[in-house]
Amino acid sequence: MGKEKNPRRVADNEAMAKVRMLRTSPQKLNLVAAMIRGKKVEKALTDLTFSNKRVAQDVKKCLQSAIANAENNHNLDVDELIVAEAWVGKNLVMKRGRPRARGRFGKIMKPFSELTIKVRQVEEQA
């Protein structure tokens, strides 16, 4: 008997990786994600390696995880992968504060984000 196998969330020529609880705002993370959308994975890795943004190292780690998932779990060719999609979502916001003048309280919001990267295998045109 047993349960039926869950259907795949991505197509047969795709693989995905997700990072939750990245300590940066979604707006800043989306700038880095936009930098790699639609590029070949080796070009995207190079761009992330030499980026001056702090969060670029976390995005690079997520991209490497998506590449490893494609290679090991889905038997895709690493040389033919492109970054099909990279999207950013909000996560929780830690609320902190600081006492200010005249009895007031300054709010300090510390946002978290999540990042999802989907890579797709495309055959190169000759």
Tens digit of pLDDT at every position of the chain (126 positions): 788 988 888 899 999 999 999 999 999 999 999 999 999 999 999 999 999 999 999 999 999 999 999 999 999 999 999 999 999 999 999 999 999 999 999 999 999 999 999 999 998 765
The sign of the torsion formed by the CA atoms of 118, 121, 122, 126 equals positive
Query: Tokens 């190169």, residue?
Result: 124
pTM of the model: 0.90
How many CB atoms lie under 10 A from the CB of residue 33? 23
| Cα radius of gyration rounded to whole Å, the chain | 19
Q: What is the pLDDT of residue 126?
A: 54
State how far the alpha carbon of 95 is from the alpha carbons of 21, 112, 114, 123, in Å: 15, 11, 18, 48
> Residue 89 corresponds to which amino acid?
G
